[in-house]
Amino acid sequence: MASYIINENTNYEITIESSSEGFRKVSDNLFYLNYNGNANRSDDYTFTFSDGASIRLTDFSEFRDFWASTSLTSVVGIPSSNSNPLINVNIGFGYLASVDIYDDITGVRLVDDWVPQSSRRNFEPIGKIQYNPSTNKLTLDKLIGNGSNRSGTNQGRIDSDGGFNIESSSYHSDEYDLEAPFRDNDPPTISITSSDITSGSINNESFCRFHLYIK
């Protein structure tokens, strides 16, 4: 299992890991998913955020040995110093490329066959996956790209810094709630009964320390 941490010890930290033979680190921010065409369609790629929330990508429809990873094909970029965890994706070769996305904590499939270019606006299966640790919201954006219905354009290219060579706007977004095991929104409950006081468990000489966390 290969594992890499990007933006460590920040709110936008992401750990990417996979045991796939096609998983390859190209730079600190760029990762191939189908290096040399060695990946299988059923291979798993997990992305874990600073609060423990995690998503898993699998069932890539266009993993083929003749569609091996390049900066334009089956590649993800995770930029540094972003306000929220951001994953730029190019999930295959053409506009029919799809992938399944799971909440890796609960095992619930969030999206069956996510197709970033389902409207056939162009030939680039590109999107943005962004997570907000303050709200536990995962946002999936489908990007317009070049719009010329051809492959190999700069809008589909992800550079070594994890960003798209040319940014393009989103034409469709979906939002999901993730389970975050390191985040507890419920305030602590302290229960004191009269027997605690009369038994001497709590008296005026007792000392209690409480920690207040403000988010």
Q: What is the pLDDT of residue 185?
A: 47
Q: What is the pLDDT of residue 208?
A: 42
Express each pLDDT in 124-181 by its tens digit: 899 999 999 999 999 999 998 887 766 667 788 999 999 999 988 899 999 999 999 8
Domain boundaries, the chain: 2-183
Q: What is the pLDDT of residue 212?
A: 40
**pTM for this predicted structure:** 0.83
Q: What is the pLDDT of residue 151?
A: 67
Q: What is the pLDDT of residue 188?
A: 44
CB-based contact 139:174 (threshold 8 Å): yes
Q: What is the pLDDT of residue 198?
A: 57
Question: In the chain, which stretches have pLDDT less than 50?
Answer: 184-190, 204-215
